[in-house]
């Protein structure tokens, strides 16, 4: 702080002054004490958009802190409903919330804590129900997850679109927080071990259909460690949003038994499968209700040859019984098909799944809406042709995917929907 030569010492409290001039402390301003922090920019937080993945013990605490600091737009996704066992670790839930969507309850209570922010709940699965456009539009993602599969997915999505993400894991009274900043830092997958991959595959039985979750969410945790690690996540988020240095690609580890806290750098692996980064997508006036053929028609002048839509979420097309020939159409992403479903209802033999990870122009599936082949709203999809690939943002889904606030700043954000609309064609609405 520069010294004012005309100032008499003791004239004013130091906290009331900053480099950019005197600061009036307004007790009617909800954020007046936060504004006193030397680097704090409330306007930056008000204009920020954050995706919180998971509304369990960590997610509750993260949301509480985001509300307190006035983080402008918060999206929260969770698949589960509130159960009595959540009440010991979830400050936003009440006993009569049982059976209601965690994301919806948490969003409502977060809005009550701070009515000045927008909180948008998504009751769904982060793998199958959140388009890549959402990951591209948020400033950062805070992972409040309890399984490797979802963390790995979030990691890959964030890398594709260059969005930083902050992961946390807790057990009993120990915890770890990791900050990842694409494209250069080590990522979540860089630090995965053989054992992690084995545990990841345990969730799937042969032939790769999801088994009923064995232990997800059943890890013993105290509410105290959830508060501590969530607070650390939000504190790192504040630093990222303010452009302050963070320990990207490092793990902050806390052991509550002996109160050891240390930071360790994660190794970056050059052959890591997560390091794919997409080019800036072309925003077109399409939605996931448009058909695959609509999409092909819209990109025809941008890529040559026979077109093929890549499916990031491998699709189970059908199940067939090899013994009696029973055949059922499934059309759901692999992660949404339980192993228990893959049993022939006639002869009780295991049924064989047919997978696909692409839709060609000649396929009967080209007449289907994109949602039917597992593409969520506001996704960024890749169409391959003989001359290369084109990446398309399904821009018509934007308001649905990220809320009414989406419309006010669509034109202002680089890469967001709007820029390419004049040339767009083939709306599927």
Q: Which of 73, 111, 274, 290 binds Zn ion (CB under 5 A)?
A: 274
Binders of Zn ion in range 190-219 (CB under 5 A): 190
CB of 184 to Zn ion, least distance (A): 11
Contact 298, 309 (CB under 8 A): no
- Of the candidate spans 120-128, 216-224, 267-275, 279-287, the one that interacts with Zn ion by CB under 5 A turns out to be 267-275
Q: Of 324 and 340, which CB lies nearer to Zn ion in the complex structure? A: 324
Which of the ranges 47-55, 126-134, 212-220, 324-332 carries the binding residues for Zn ion, by CB under 5 A? 324-332
Helix (H) or strand (E) holding 140: strand 140-143
Part of the chain binding Zn ion (CB under 5 A), chosen from 265-273, 303-311, 367-375, 378-386: 265-273
Contact map string, positions 165 to 194, toward Zn ion, x by CB under 5 A = ----------------------x-xx----
Report in angstroms how near the CB of residue 181 gets to Zn ion at its nearest.
12
Q: Measured from the CB atom, is 181 or 187 closer to Zn ion?
A: 187
* Token code pair at residue 273: 């499968």
Residue 149 or 189: the one with the smaller Cβ distance to Zn ion is: 189
Strand partners, 320: 327, 352
Q: What is the x/- site pattern for Zn ion, positions 19-58, by CB under 5 A?
A: ----------------------------------------
Q: Which is nearer to Zn ion, 225 or 246 (CB)?
A: 246
- Rounded Cα distance between 266 and 185, Å, is 9
Is position 79 an interface residue for Zn ion (rule: CB under 5 A)?
A: no
Q: Decide: is 323 part of the binding site for Zn ion (CB under 5 A).
A: yes
Of 40, 278, 326, 391, which lies in the binding site for Zn ion, with binding defined by CB under 5 A? 326
Site string for Zn ion, 339-358 (x = CB under 5 A): -----x-xx-x---------
* 358 within 8 A of 308, measured Cβ to Cβ: yes
Q: How far is the CB of 329 from Zn ion (least distance, A)?
A: 16
As a whole number of angstroms, the distance between CA 187 and CA 249 comes to 6
CB of 141 to Zn ion, least distance (A): 16
Q: Which residue number, 62 or 272, has a Cβ lying nearer to Zn ion?
A: 272
- Looking from the CA of 165 toward its CB, the CA atoms found within 13 Å total 31
**Which residue number, 163 or 282, has a Cβ lying nearer to Zn ion?**
163
Name the residue nearer to Zn ion (CB basis): 273 or 411.
Answer: 273
Q: Is 272 in the site for Zn ion (CB under 5 A)?
A: yes
Bridge-based pairing state of the strands 118-123 and 21-22: unpaired
| CB-nearer residue toward Zn ion: 277 or 323 | 323
Minimum CB distance to Zn ion smaller for 219 or for 347: 347
CA distance 76 to 141: 10
Query: Are 180 and 166 spatial neighbours (Cβ–Cβ below 8 Å)?
Result: yes
**Max CA pair span of the chain:** 94
x/- binding map, residues 356-395, to Zn ion, per CB under 5 A? ----------------------------------------
Assess contact for 334 and 314: CB atoms under 8 A: yes
Pairing of strands 140-143, 49-53: parallel
Question: How does strand 388-394 pair with strand 282-284?
Answer: parallel
Closer residue to Zn ion in complex, CB, 134/342:
342
Nearest to 179 by CA among 143, 148, 132: 143
Interface residue with Zn ion among 321, 381, 383, 417 (CB under 5 A) is 321
Q: What is the DSSP string of 309-351?
A: EEEEEEEEEEEE-TTT--EEEEEEEGGG-BGGG-B-TTT-PBP
- Interaxial angle between packed helices 194-202 and 148-161, expressed in degrees from 0 to 180 and rounded to the nearest 10: 110
Q: How far apart are CA 60 and CA 85, in angstroms?
A: 14
Q: Are strands 250-255 and 209-210 parallel, antiparallel or unpaired?
A: unpaired
Cβ neighbourhood burial of 112 (10 Å; 0-12, 13-18, 19+): exposed
Enumerate binding residues for Zn ion (CB under 5 A). 187, 189-190, 272, 274, 321, 323-324, 326, 344, 346-347, 349
């Amino acid at each position: 702080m520069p010294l004012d030569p005309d100032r008499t010492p003791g004239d004013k409290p130091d906290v009331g002054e900053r480099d950019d001039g005197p600061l009036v402390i307004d007790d009617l301003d909800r954020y007046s004490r936060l504004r006193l922090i030397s680097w704090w920019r409330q306007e930056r937080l008000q204009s920020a958009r954050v995706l919180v993945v998971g509304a369990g013990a960590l997610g509750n605490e993260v949301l509480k802190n985001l509300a307190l600091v006035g983080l402008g737009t918060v999206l929260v996704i969770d698949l589960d409903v509130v159960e009595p066992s959540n009440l010991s670790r979830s400050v936003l839930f009440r006993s009569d919330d049982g059976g209601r969507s965690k994301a919806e309850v948490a969003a409502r209570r977060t809005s009550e804590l701070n009515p000045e922010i927008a909180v948008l709940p998504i009751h769904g699965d982060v793998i199958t129900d959140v388009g890549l456009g959402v990951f591209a539009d948020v400033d950062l993602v805070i992972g409040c997850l309890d399984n490797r599969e979802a963390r790995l997915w979030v990691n890959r999505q964030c890398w594709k679109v260059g969005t930083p993400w902050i992961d946390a894991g807790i057990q009993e009274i120990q915890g770890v927080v990791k900050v990842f900043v694409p494209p250069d830092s080590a990522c979540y997958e860089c630090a995965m071990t053989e054992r992690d991959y084995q545990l990841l595959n345990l969730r799937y039985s042969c032939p790769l259909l999801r088994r009923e979750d064995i232990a997800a969410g059943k890890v013993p945790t105290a509410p105290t460690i959830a508060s501590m690690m969530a607070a650390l996540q939000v504190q790192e988020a504040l630093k990222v949003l303010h452009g302050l240095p963070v320990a990207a690609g490092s793990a902050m580890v806390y052991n509550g038994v002996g109160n050891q806290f240390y930071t360790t750098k994660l190794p970056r692996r050059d052959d890591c499968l997560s390091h794919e980064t997409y080019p800036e997508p072309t925003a077109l006036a399409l939605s996931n209700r448009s058909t695959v053929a609509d999409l092909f028609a819209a990109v025809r002048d941008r890529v040559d040859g026979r077109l093929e839509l890549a499916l990031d979420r491998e699709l189970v097309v059908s199940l067939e019984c090899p013994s009696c020939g029973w055949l059922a159409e499934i059309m759901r992403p692999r992660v949404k098909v339980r192993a228990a479903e893959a049993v022939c209802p006639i002869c009780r033999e295991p049924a064989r799944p047919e997978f696909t990870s692409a839709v060609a122009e000649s396929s009967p599936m080209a007449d289907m809406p994109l949602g039917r082949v597992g593409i969520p709203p506001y996704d960024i999809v890749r169409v391959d042709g003989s001359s290369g690939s084109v990446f398309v943002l399904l821009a018509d889904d934007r308001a649905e995917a990220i809320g009414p606030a989406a419309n006010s700043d669509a034109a202002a954000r680089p890469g967001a929907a709007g820029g390419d609309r004049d040339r767009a064609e083939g709306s599927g609405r």
